[in-house]
């Protein structure tokens, strides 16, 4: 890729002004892919200035004009689909099969959802003699993580563009390749200069500069709760809008009447999706105390079916994204053992037969109590904690006993009971009996899992201001 060493500002690929760089490492083999430039405050200022200059014309463009550009971008994205999928394998270790089936697919899904929301959106309405109108909020900083490179970028960029906002996107330095390819597609689609700007940089430098910049009207961040808090504190000085999709420690409540074999097996598989690097991962499995041993046996068999290895081959799990994440996961596995949880399978060290790459053994802990670190901290790896409960009330209590509130899962054939429990879980999204994910359903969290909602029309509304003009009629 010819643009790895440049930033995209005001419709052109330009040389960075900062001198810092970051080595992008292939997590499957620990080999360096490239040295990526890290943006300075001067680079941020240039990108924001371009977005600000482009905002007036772009904000006044017609929805039909923006719709045409988004539809062209969707065509180009789908044409580059396989290439984008392969880039994500290289940069963050997701398996090729999963990248094609999910990692690249969500980019298509979010573009389609934004296009649909734009087509259906009502921009003005009358209340008596007062006109109520929706207008783009302004210049937006989009800060995205490494674990779902296209999902997290497109779910922000597509509605941002649809709303008539301009932007500066700062993807993670750990998975930048697919994001750079996406910028090339934006350019080819014909978006006006300055509407979409792209830099890479460290969070404490470029991210902080974006959050603090007086000409940035909104920051949308997906990342850790720690990063979200830092952005919110910095952004508060200029009273800008902050949308946050942050961490999670999602409970998976398996009720006594569920098919335990099916529910536990599917729960293990769901926890290990993307090698466990998913904020909505059902990493806490709640089962009746008297079925703990049975659940452990089923989970052990399910986990040990997950082959780990080179993500370009026919395996279900590749590596985690980098050495820092590998060590974080190893530390929590060790802590789980020290705190007295039963190690059912997996554990410390590389999987058998692998001596390079950031591979984690698929791990299941049983007999976990909810006060243990592995039950409270977001591990972000293929590590499942099975927790016992006394009765339905105890399960709900345990499920809500966390600082997070992103997602929840309920397994039971009794739909009335499932719906009643769903109303009591303090989370933003719930999946009953492993229902399918919908790109048009709102996604976001309660408590320290963030604020705001993404996907479909909810994502579009995040980038809009509301104006009332009395006496309009």
Choosing from 91, 112, 245, 457, the catalytic residue is 245
Tell me whether residue 16 is exposed, middle or buried, using C-beta atoms within 10 angstroms of its C-beta: 0 to 12, 13 to 18, 19 or more.
buried
Model's pTM, two decimal places?
A: 0.96
pLDDT at residue 127 in the model = 97
Could you tell me the end-to-end alpha-carbon distance of the chain, in angstroms, rounded to an integer?
55
pLDDT at residue 364 in the model = 98
Kindly list the domain boundaries of the chain, sorted by start residue.
7-246+449-469, 251-438
Tell me the two tokens of residue 263: 């529910």
Is 279 one of the catalytic residues? yes
pLDDT at residue 3 in the model = 87
Q: Does the domain at residues 251-438 carry the CATH identifier 3.40.309.10? A: yes
337 sits in which H/E element: helix 323-338
Which residues of the chain carry a pLDDT beneath 50? none
Is 160 one of the catalytic residues? no
Choosing from 173, 279, 377, 457, the catalytic residue is 279
pLDDT, tens digit, 9 for 90 and up, residues 3-14: 899 999 999 999
Decide: helix, strand or coil at residue 231: helix
Q: How many CB atoms lie within 10 A of CB 61?
A: 14
| CATH of region 7-246+449-469 | 3.40.605.10
Are 64 and 130 within 8 A, CB to CB? no
pLDDT at residue 2 in the model = 80
pLDDT at residue 180 in the model = 98
pLDDT, tens digit, 9 for 90 and up, residues 232-285: 999 999 999 999 999 999 999 999 999 999 999 999 999 999 999 999 999 999
Mean pLDDT of the chain: 97
């Amino acid at each position: 890729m010819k643009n790895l060493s440049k930033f995209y500002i005001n419709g052109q690929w330009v040389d960075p002004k900062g001198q810092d760089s970051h080595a992008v490492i292939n997590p499957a083999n620990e080999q360096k892919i490239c040295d990526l430039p890290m943006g300075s405050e001067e680079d941020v200022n240039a990108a924001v200035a371009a977005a600000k200059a482009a905002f007036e014309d772009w904000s006044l463009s017609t929805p039909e004009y923006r719709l045409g550009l988004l539809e062209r971008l969707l065509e180009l994205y789908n044409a580059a689909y396989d290439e984008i999928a392969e880039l994500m394998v290289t940069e963050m270790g997701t398996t090729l099969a999963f990248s094609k089936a999910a990692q690249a697919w969500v980019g298509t899904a979010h573009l389609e959802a934004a296009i649909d929301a734009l087509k259906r959106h009502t921009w003005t309405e009358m209340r008596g003699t007062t006109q109520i109108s929706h207008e783009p909020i302004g210049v937006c900083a989009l800060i995205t993580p490494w674990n779902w490179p296209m999902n997290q970028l497109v779910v922000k960029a597509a509605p941002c563009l649809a709303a008539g906002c301009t932007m500066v996107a700062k993807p993670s330095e750990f998975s930048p390749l697919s994001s750079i390819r996406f910028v090339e597609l934006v350019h080819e689609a014909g978006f006006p200069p300055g509407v979409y700007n792209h830099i890479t940089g460290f969070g404490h430098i470029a991210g902080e500069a974006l959050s603090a910049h007086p000409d940035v009207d909104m920051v949308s961040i997906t990342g850790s709760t720690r990063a979200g808090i830092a952005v919110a504190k910095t952004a508060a000085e200029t009273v800008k809008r902050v949308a946050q999709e942050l961490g999670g420690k999602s409970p998976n409540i398996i009720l006594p009447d569920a098919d335990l074999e099916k529910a536990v097996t599917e729960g293990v598989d769901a926890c290990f999706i993307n090698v466990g690097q998913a904020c909505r991962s059902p990493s806490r499995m709640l089962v009746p105390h008297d079925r703990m041993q049975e659940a452990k046996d089923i989970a052990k068999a399910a986990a040990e079916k997950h082959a780990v290895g080179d993500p370009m081959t026919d395996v279900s799990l590749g590596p985690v994204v980098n050495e820092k994440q590998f060590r974080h996961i190893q530390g929590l596995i060790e802590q789980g053992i020290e705190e007295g949880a039963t190690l059912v399978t997996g554990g410390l060290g590389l999987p058998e037969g692998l001596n390079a790459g950031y591979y984690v053994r698929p791990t299941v802990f049983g007999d976990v109590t909810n006060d243990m670190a592995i039950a409270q901290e977001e591990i972000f790896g293929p590590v499942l904690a099975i927790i016992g409960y006394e009765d339905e009330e105890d399960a709900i209590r345990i499920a809500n006993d966390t600082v997070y509130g992103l997602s929840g899962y309920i397994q039971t054939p009794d739909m009335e009971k499932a719906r009643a429990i769903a109303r009591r879980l303090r989370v933003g999204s719930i999946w009953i009996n492993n229902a399918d994910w919908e790109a048009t359903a709102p996604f976001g969290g309660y408590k320290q899992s963030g604020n705001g909602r993404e996907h479909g029309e909810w994502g579009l509304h995040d980038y809009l201001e509301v104006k009332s003009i009395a006496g309009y009629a």
